[in-house]
């Protein structure tokens, strides 16, 4: 279970009986987990696209070439930009994917982060304080959850202006209940644990216990949910964009590309396939990386990555 150095030394045993555990630096641990490494590289690439994509390929993404409509992927006849084919107006798929990364990821990332922070806080308060405050939070969350989230979004965005900020807000609010419920459930269990009692016996106040003892255990769980929600939010954004109340063309997102490509699915599968693949890979990478992060940040699990691998 635990490393041999954790054995109780006999009284009087010298310090030489205590083994020194080396801690590997983070990047070495990342290099040891192949999937996490790939996920990390992919996310870094996406980050690069977000940072400089539109500046670099913005022009190619909007240049029409009606003679090259629906070019299938895999040919370099018209230059490397058409390696992933072209869309119904002859625009480079690759360039459009790169350019769309910024909108897609900014909307999705900010929406899930806002949802996590707000939902997590509300859930922790509901779980720890309980009583009337807790009930109020939970019932509000129930109301939010019992409403079809798409309907909420449609109504809100119809009333408000369909701007990016509003879109982010709507996506965040409709995804709140998941975090509230999970955070509350976790807190209900953790607050009964003995170390919380011990902390109270040592004079720790409510806020101290929430911050120092409960949050560090709840947050990794919420982060895992976040990575799953990441894909859900990207798809929700695409539905809204498809309905014309999300991102407005000529701005593009992966979700919007999937939605538009659906019409041509029988003649040009790549129009919907590549943006769909991008969404899936981004979500999966986030998931893999978060599960690695969870292992690394859990002191009782970290050894799994530090231990030498079987068969070298």
Partner 1 sequence: MSTPPPLLLVRDLRVEFHTGLEVVHAVNGATFRIPAGETAALLGESGCGKSVTAASIMRLLPQPPARIAGGAIHFDGEDVLAMSPRDWRRVAGRRIGMVFQDALSSLNPVFSVGWQIAETFRVHGVGTVAGRRARAIDLLDRVGIPAASRRYGDYPHQFSGGMRQRVMIAMAVALGPRLLIADEPTTALDVTIQAQIMDLLEGLRAESGMAMLLITHDLGVVSEVAARVAVMYAGRVVESGPTAEVLRSPAHPYTLALLRSVPTGRSRAQKLRPILGSPPDLAHMPRGCAFHPRCEFARDECLHAAPPSHAAGSGNAGPRRTVECHFPLESLHDRPG
Query: Measured in whole angstroms, how far is the alpha carbon of residue 109 from the centre of its chain?
Result: 7
User: Rounded to the nearest whole angstrom, what is the least distance from the CB of residue 280 to partner 1 in the complex?
Assistant: 32
* 298 lies in the binding site for partner 1 (CB under 8 A): yes
* 5 lies in the binding site for partner 1 (CB under 8 A): yes
Q: Which of 84, 80, 89 is nearest to 62 (CA)?
A: 89
Instruction: Choose, by CB under 8 A, the member of 25, 299, 308, 311 that binds partner 1.
Output: 299
Site for partner 1 in 21-60 (CB under 8 A): 21
Q: Which of 172, 191, 179, 169 is nearest to 123 (CA)?
A: 179
User: Rounded to the nearest whole angstrom, what is the least distance from the CB of residue 113 to partner 1 in the complex?
Assistant: 22
If the CB atoms of residues 133 and 263 are measured against partner 1, the closer one turns out to be 133
Structure tokens at 153: 């979004």
* 200 lies in the binding site for partner 1 (CB under 8 A): yes
* 9 lies in the binding site for partner 1 (CB under 8 A): yes
Instruction: Choose, by CB under 8 A, the member of 25, 146, 300, 308 that binds partner 1.
Output: 300
Instruction: Choose, by CB under 8 A, the member of 72, 79, 148, 205 that binds partner 1.
Output: 205
Euclidean distance between CA atoms 276 and 257, whole angstroms: 8
Structure tokens at 192: 């009964």
Quick count: other Cβ atoms within 10 Å of Cβ 180? 27
Angstrom distances, CA of residue 264 to CA of 22, 71, 100, 169, 256: 57, 13, 19, 32, 14
Binding site for partner 1 (CB under 8 A): 1-3, 5-9, 11, 13-15, 17-18, 20-21, 193-195, 197-205, 208, 212-213, 216-217, 298-300
């Amino acid at each position: 279970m635990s490393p041999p150095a954790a054995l109780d030394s006999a009284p009087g045993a010298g310090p030489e009986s205590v083994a020194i555990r080396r801690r590997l630096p983070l990047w070495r641990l990342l290099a040891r987990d192949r999937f996490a490494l790939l996920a990390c590289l992919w996310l870094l690439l996406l980050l690069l696209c977000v940072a400089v994509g539109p500046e670099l390929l913005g022009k190619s993404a909007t240049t029409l070439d009606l003679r090259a409509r629906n070019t299938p992927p895999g040919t370099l006849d018209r230059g490397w930009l058409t390696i992933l084919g072209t869309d119904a107006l002859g625009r480079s798929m690759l360039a459009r994917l790169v350019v769309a990364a910024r909108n897609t990821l900014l909307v999705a990332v900010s929406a899930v982060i806002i949802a996590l922070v707000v939902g997590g806080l509300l859930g922790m308060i509901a779980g720890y304080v309980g009583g009337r405050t807790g009930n109020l939070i939970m019932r509000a969350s129930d109301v939010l959850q019992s409403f079809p989230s798409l309907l909420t979004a449609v109504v809100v965005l119809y009333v408000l202006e369909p701007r990016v900020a509003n879109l982010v807000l709507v996506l965040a609010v409709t995804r709140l209940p998941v975090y509230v419920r999970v955070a509350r459930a976790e807190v209900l269990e953790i607050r009964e644990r003995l170390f919380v009692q011990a902390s109270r016996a040592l004079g720790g106040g409510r806020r101290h216990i929430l911050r120092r003892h409960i949050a560090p255990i709840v947050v990794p769980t919420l982060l895992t949910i976040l990575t799953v929600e990441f894909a859900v939010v990207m798809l929700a954004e695409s539905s809204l964009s498809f309905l014309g109340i999300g991102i407005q063309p000529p701005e593009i997102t992966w979700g919007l590309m999937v939605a538009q490509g659906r019409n041509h699915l029988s003649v040009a599968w790549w129009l919907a396939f590549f943006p769909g693949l991008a969404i899936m890979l981004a979500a999966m990478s986030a998931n893999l990386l978060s599960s690695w992060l969870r292992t690394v940040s859990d002191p009782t699990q970290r050894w799994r990555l530090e231990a030498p691998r079987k068969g070298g």
